[in-house]
Structure 1
């Protein structure tokens, strides 16, 4: 390194550190390039990884002239405090604490230095807070009095102390997952107990301070406290009055003041009358000032667009304040402070803010609108359901609806005019104003559309006539051209589609017929390809959202289907896809209408479609044709007569079968057919068509499958021979050749078709004896004898499905399956964690299926193979891919369960061989930061292992009796000592008491899984490896909460007309379920 001599000297921890040398190394790292920069990085990494690096922090902070060097030292010190602080004697800890404190006081006492070194001070503050989390209050009980006292001695010191208190509050109350539960609870309790002096300091600043920076940081610090301090500090003092009357009206502080008021507004006062009264006073005071600051007549959209006076930030926080307050306390204001003018005024502000072209602000407002209309609807619904409701309750329900009448009308208009695109719509307007197909859907837009749909459905249920009037008027303005634009048309049609099911049957009929007729007329009137494409896409989308109406009105359904088929010939990008998607949705929800005509003298609609099918699909791509065939499969599944089903299926598959027979004849005569890309393409399309129909038609597809079964085996074997011959001739490079890749695709398509058929088959004995031997023999032998790169993961998945479906019927064949698939796949996936990801998934899916459905077959395999199975499971839960690790842990748990139910001789032999190695490896992944996401499965396996020993379910010793000193040793005592020693060796920095408490908890709580996980989680947080992000340790709770919310939301939505999209309705509630 040419910039400095002997840079390695900084790694010499036996002698005094050359701080100037370190500064030059760090300067090179940040400003250098090439080899010098890489060498500097290497040196710094070695330096900070040295266990003694923290001892250099003081001299670096005192003598360095480079700010980056000081940051480097503070990062090292911070990590040491987080992970190894408790190993230091009390005197050393106190010395470091005082050293950091003195630097902070020195730097922050001088205003010029404080301003200049603000970033450096922030890092110092963070290090001090890390010390506080370790030492306060036990080893530093005087911290709060000290920081309050020092704040009164110097203004800039006071300003920095506010920052320290704010960070401490955040660490304890907001980011406490990096601490054990007991520790976090203790710090919170201590903070609350000592808060009075902190509060008085904040109030003194807000009452008397003149320095803007100090006032602002105090408001920000107070903001951090408001969510957890005892309510008396807020409602039994004049702090709210100070915020409203002194700081809300001052432009410099109004945003942070709004944040404080928002935090207060979100608090729950549990029906405390005095506190409710204070809320009413706060709302009145705040709204009075807001009306003066930003009059209701102000054009918020224009203000936001101009960006004047931080308008965007102010409107964001005004929206947050209003929505937080009204969400929590609107009913209190309605009932106890009946000032409708002020209340409606707040809602008008929200309506105006909702029109600002900012999606994040709109989403904040939308969440409140959803809660408001939901509340109004629930009141209204209760009134309808409960005929015995007290008169005063009925009056309240009506009064609320009347109170918000004008607000709701404006909200209906707002929702229509801001409606976003549903996922079913595939064409959009690009930046150049052209209509194009959208290939990537925005997840955010899909979620937003769902929320807006909910609001519109509630609004429709509250006043269907007003919604119909507004939509009809908007439609008329599109027709007369006064509001014509693609955007306006799209938004109106998306809104109309969103309220499907919310109107009564009769209202929906009149309304929808009028809408569709108007749109079709508009399509005729408007010229230009793009105009027609936009209108067409809206017609398709709208009719697709109303299957209930279509199923009940045969003539209209027939007209709509005719239009959908017409749109299948529209060449504008995206329209054909939408037409096919709409057809399959209608087919799924209106099956019977296609099968059963309204009168006996009319042929079923499906017959007409089958007759004209060639013409209908003539303009479609192969992928779109498959969607069409899948839709037809759904229709055939609704036919109750099996002979008619057979006739319909035969007619449907006539064209594919004709092409199939011709090609198979050619293949038998001359294998060079595989050289023709066109023939390959036709073969693949026919296979995909069969797969699409198989999944939709159900068990009747067995008739068609019998027609092609023999040919499928022949084709698979022929394709296999071609791949093998090419590899023998040209080596594995042949696998990259287009011809070989195309032929392999045929093999994969055949396997997918078999997999789909196996899933739908009902007669499992016939399947096992008649269908499966042919494909299994072909596929398993092919897999075993192929080179790694030519093995298809689909074989693994198909084998897993076969065993999952057929269970014990496959027991006699499991040995053969394992012989062909197990070791050959294992050798592929253990070479590297990255290669063959699909084979990994298929491999573990197969093991899971065998373990779950044919466990006894595992016990009959060779011991060496069984050991490989166990090793594979252990290797799997060490995998860095979460899905592989999770399924391996699941297999491991189920395997232990299965073994524990076996005869004692079998289970004891198993546990003697594998218990300790499984447990040791579970502990390995449990304490490894790369496997935190597997916490749920790891703890479940671990708990089960300890349960077995605690309950004395394992009779044989898990230890070698010859190697233990105690003659009456039992498994429980042995395991206690074994795990204690394991933890001690793995984590020598832990105290023996910590290990003792942890191991005892493993024995004590293994039958209470929730408590067991809490104890393990707390132990992991104590380890230095887990001092970083611990979010993944809580992933099970988060996922379970989300799943429960999803189920609860669906149940609730199903009770509200129109809330669930037709496509998402459970099958029992669609048209064929008698809805």
Structure 2
């Protein structure tokens, strides 16, 4: 049909979408029938291609689609064995496809046919043997005939890029020749003297695509074959292609820049590693001492030291200097910066974080750190020169100042301490001068935000220079009175960052000071925070909490905490006194705001101070719990005369108080160090007041935060108080389950917290679960399996994980009768519901845990860990082993569920599961293949192959990346370092 429609000129021209659909359908058929049932397909399509231009052009589209389906989209669409078989078959027959493509490119003159052929060839180039490419004149044909004409140049450049991604040392000469020829042609199309940034802005889409494809070609070729080009005598080519990439990197198009950045990241890392690999014994004594000093301080090496030592980096001196300028001028906003320029040209507060920008910043920051290590003097000179141009106005703009300061902040730790000191003092001095020089709130806000960002990035410098640290913090306090949008937020955020990294310096009695700086801050607290919004005040208190936590003397720490909380406690005491006289005053509108604000202040301080917060919590704890109960009763009373009360603003703010009380208790318990203190003084009053209220309240008056709070409590002390945990379950289990088991949508926040709590109890107080009555325990398992079918991913994950964790605990429990009773009752429901979600595409997200559940149960059966028959009387003959019964049960269940499968397929699948249950990777691949087979009719019964998991590889890569980064000064941001403050 495809051939017939192609031969019909009218259909071929006017019905292309229909023909494309037919092509795709044919390829889907081929995936099932070729090569086993249609072994002659490739010879047939090649033979047909020689019968007419239209047929040939359409057949190129079919071959392109076939390659895409087999090589690019086969995951989860074909079994591993089938995908391997098709790829092998394609490789076996590619010579015929290649000859057809070459013949067309050599002889054809019809543009649409040439483009279709190039596009088809492109899909095969990535995996064909290199001898096909280099032992024929394909490269010369592509470069000489198709690289220059505008209608072919983009797809041709993509073909050359695909070839560049391949590699084999025996073809180094051919790769270099290809590159040399291509660059010569490119230089005629786009001379090196061209201002690519301007050219790109004025170019049409085809020419813009060409520049983007050019960047990919150059960067991918150099990434794979740089040494080949470096080893040639033609250094002009090496420098020129890098100049092309510099010019392309200057274009204002993020995706193009990101492509270039990948290559720059690779290059600077290689050049840096070359320095690290220099044998110190090869250097003279002066250089040896310099190396030792540099690497012990983590700073960059002075380039003059290696001026006479032969290094690759010397070849790239001018390129690297230009690259530093590019990185500085294009640096994107770090996530710490909250003040941005809007599309309307106004300075505003940023509220939404752009994950793409954060990722790009990280990559650019790494490149600039390496560039600094490669030549710290040049990096510093460029930055100081650009800052001078901000001062004299020749390059002044918000964007130029921002990118420069973001770049300065990004290289923290990449210089040695002495150099960093002089550099940073000079930068901050100039920026403070710029603050005084510039008029207008917007200008001042931009400069202020940059000062705050930079000082927040250099804790090492601040720790070493107390006077400067104090000056900087006092400047932040000044900015806290600046009402321009975003400045106060950033001042508070910077203060807390400095407080975290330099906290011991605030509590130490510094030379020349009358008292520790924290005492001075607390005494002036009211004045410092007078212009801040409540949420900013809370950040300020959190920062002070970090500082107070560094005070090693308990009495001093408690005094500082008491002084810090003086104002909130005065407000709290006044509220409690009024409430004692008249409980109704507790829920007065103005009083509610005060109480919530005081509670939030306590939460903020507790979150940073941690265990040291106990004296303050003990001071307000009893009143806090009483207030919780009083507010609950007040809400119930008000709702009696007002059916829609729970939807009112008043109800929301009253619930806000309850939530903050729970949050404070949860925050402290999560940080507490004296767990006996938690058990004796925190747990019992909490459970008596909060859980009784939760159990007795109607569902609309319950708070999901109660479940979260007791979850933390069980997590910390559950193993110490199993009877209390049983009491928790009795008070929350049935009433919560009754709320969420009516539908999949009601009370979503309760669903998540409920299963988190059950998982925690299972993990930390499993004995409490076993003490539940059989009926309640059965409901727990039912709830787990029900959650595994949930459309909420978090609930689904919690249900699956809890099922697996309960199975693990039951299996490891030291009483075999517990396991026997459990598996006898729940074996079939667990297996049935696990296969239900496994074969439902809506639950693909749970695949890993689903497979773990099945593998665990198979393991228990195969290792005779279940001491009673899993089958009921009459289901199997007496004496049948659980292993044999499980195989038969699984085969029968799957055959009934999927009658279109062959018996051999089901048998092979079940046997594969039992054979491979000890190998998680192969076990999961067996399941994946089965999920493909159940969508097919009459598939192959031997379709199994096994490959490695990507997830494990990714985790290992992240671990190695961090280990590598820790060895390079400045590569890990100061805020991400785990070292103790000093």
Q: Write out aligned runs for 1:789-804 (5 A).
A: 789-804=700-715
Give the alignment's Cα RMSD to 1 decimal. Answer: 1.9
Whether 1:563 and 2:458 are equivalent positions in the alignment is: no
Match of 1:153? 51
Distance 1:722 1:942, change over 3 A: same
State whether residues 625 and 690 of structure 2, in contact with CA within 8 Å, keep that contact through their aligned partners in structure 1.
Answer: no
Counting matched residue pairs gives 954
CA deviations 1:123-147 (Å, max 9, x no partner) are: 1011111111111111111111111
State whether residues 500 and 546 of structure 2, in contact with CA within 8 Å, keep that contact through their aligned partners in structure 1.
Answer: yes
Q: Write out aligned runs for 1:228-377 (5 A).
A: 228-269=127-168, 272-273=169-170, 275-308=171-204, 310-335=206-231, 337-377=232-272
State whether residues 674 and 743 of structure 1, in contact with CA within 8 Å, keep that contact through their aligned partners in structure 2.
Answer: no
2:626 alignment partner, one of 714, 728, 741: 714
Q: Write out aligned runs for 1:1048-1063 (5 A).
A: 1048-1063=960-975
Distance 1:804 1:411, change over 3 A: same
Helix, strand or coil: the match of 1:383? coil
Q: Which moved more, 1:1051-1060 or 1:254-263?
A: 1051-1060
Whether 1:664 and 2:576 are equivalent positions in the alignment is: yes
State whether residues 304 and 312 of structure 1, in contact with CA within 8 Å, keep that contact through their aligned partners in structure 2.
Answer: yes
Offset of residue 769 of structure 1: 2.1
State whether residues 340 and 348 of structure 2, in contact with CA within 8 Å, keep that contact through their aligned partners in structure 1.
Answer: yes
Match of 2:915? 1004
Distance 1:387 1:752, change over 3 A: farther
2:904 & 2:281 partners in 1: Cα distance? 62
1:1000 & 1:817 partners in 2: Cα distance? 44
2:389 & 2:227 partners in 1: Cα distance? 38
Offset of residue 300 of structure 1: 1.2
Offset of residue 1053 of structure 1: 1.3
1:785 & 1:512 partners in 2: Cα distance? 62
1:502 alignment partner, one of 400, 414, 423: 414
State whether residues 624 and 661 of structure 2, in contact with CA within 8 Å, keep that contact through their aligned partners in structure 1.
Answer: yes
Q: Structure 1 unaligned runs (5+)? A: 1-102, 1028-1032
Distance 1:420 1:1025, change over 3 A: farther
Whether 1:737 and 2:677 are equivalent positions in the alignment is: no
Match of 2:323? 411
Match of 2:434? 522
Q: Which moved more, 1:899-908 or 1:857-866?
A: 899-908
CA deviations 1:835-857 (Å, max 9, x no partner) are: 22211111001100111111111
Match of 2:934? 1023
State whether residues 899 and 906 of structure 1, in contact with CA within 8 Å, keep that contact through their aligned partners in structure 2.
Answer: yes
Distance 1:144 1:1010, change over 3 A: same
Helix, strand or coil: the match of 1:436? strand
State whether residues 427 and 575 of structure 1, in contact with CA within 8 Å, keep that contact through their aligned partners in structure 2.
Answer: yes
Helix, strand or coil: the match of 1:730? coil
2:679 & 2:948 partners in 1: Cα distance? 38
2:6 & 2:145 partners in 1: Cα distance? 28
Helix, strand or coil: the match of 2:386? helix
Match of 2:529? 617
Helix, strand or coil: the match of 2:412? coil
Match of 1:811? 722
CA deviations 1:451-490 (Å, max 9, x no partner) are: 1111111111110100111111111111111111111111
Distance 1:801 1:779, change over 3 A: same
Helix, strand or coil: the match of 2:150? coil
2:355 & 2:456 partners in 1: Cα distance? 21
2:649 & 2:54 partners in 1: Cα distance? 72
Distance 1:639 1:1018, change over 3 A: same
Offset of residue 410 of structure 1: 0.6
Whether 1:190 and 2:89 are equivalent positions in the alignment is: yes
1:715 & 1:539 partners in 2: Cα distance? 44
Q: Write out aligned runs for 1:603-1002 (5 A).
A: 603-731=515-643, 733-902=644-813, 903-964=815-876, 966-1002=877-913
Whether 1:226 and 2:125 are equivalent positions in the alignment is: yes
2:93 & 2:336 partners in 1: Cα distance? 57
CA deviations 1:867-907 (Å, max 9, x no partner) are: 10110111111111122111211111111111112322221
Whether 1:201 and 2:66 are equivalent positions in the alignment is: no
Offset of residue 1025 of structure 1: 8.5
1:361 & 1:145 partners in 2: Cα distance? 41
**Which structure exhibits the higher relative contact order, with contacts defined as CA atoms closer than 8 Å and separated by 6 or more residues?**
2
Offset of residue 310 of structure 1: 2.4
Helix, strand or coil: the match of 2:278? helix
State whether residues 250 and 326 of structure 2, in contact with CA within 8 Å, keep that contact through their aligned partners in structure 1.
Answer: yes
2:598 & 2:333 partners in 1: Cα distance? 34
CA deviations 1:405-437 (Å, max 9, x no partner) are: 000111111111111111111111222222111
Distance 1:122 1:723, change over 3 A: same
Offset of residue 972 of structure 1: 1.3
Offset of residue 922 of structure 1: 0.6
CA deviations 1:905-937 (Å, max 9, x no partner) are: 221111111111111111111111111110000
2:398 & 2:845 partners in 1: Cα distance? 46
Q: Structure 2 unaligned runs (5+)? A: 288-305, 939-944
State whether residues 547 and 586 of structure 1, in contact with CA within 8 Å, keep that contact through their aligned partners in structure 2.
Answer: yes
Offset of residue 795 of structure 1: 0.5
Offset of residue 395 of structure 1: 10
Distance 1:327 1:688, change over 3 A: same
Q: Which moved more, 1:630-639 or 1:778-787?
A: 778-787
CA deviations 1:629-654 (Å, max 9, x no partner) are: 00000001111111111111111111
Whether 1:465 and 2:377 are equivalent positions in the alignment is: yes
Whether 1:583 and 2:478 are equivalent positions in the alignment is: no
Whether 1:596 and 2:508 are equivalent positions in the alignment is: yes
1:530 & 1:652 partners in 2: Cα distance? 34
Helix, strand or coil: the match of 1:824? helix
1:488 & 1:635 partners in 2: Cα distance? 35
State whether residues 928 and 1025 of structure 1, in contact with CA within 8 Å, keep that contact through their aligned partners in structure 2.
Answer: no
2:433 & 2:951 partners in 1: Cα distance? 49
TM-score, normalised to structure 1, is: 0.87
2:280 & 2:145 partners in 1: Cα distance? 49
State whether residues 102 and 138 of structure 2, in contact with CA within 8 Å, keep that contact through their aligned partners in structure 1.
Answer: yes
Q: Which moved more, 1:599-608 or 1:654-663?
A: 599-608
1:825 & 1:940 partners in 2: Cα distance? 28
2:459 & 2:162 partners in 1: Cα distance? 45
TM-score, normalised to structure 2, is: 0.95
Helix, strand or coil: the match of 1:398? coil
State whether residues 420 and 448 of structure 1, in contact with CA within 8 Å, keep that contact through their aligned partners in structure 2.
Answer: yes
1:827 & 1:386 partners in 2: Cα distance? 75
Offset of residue 302 of structure 1: 1.7
Offset of residue 675 of structure 1: 4.1
State whether residues 383 and 397 of structure 1, in contact with CA within 8 Å, keep that contact through their aligned partners in structure 2.
Answer: no
State whether residues 925 and 947 of structure 2, in contact with CA within 8 Å, keep that contact through their aligned partners in structure 1.
Answer: no
Helix, strand or coil: the match of 1:1024? coil
Match of 1:572? 484
Distance 1:1034 1:851, change over 3 A: farther
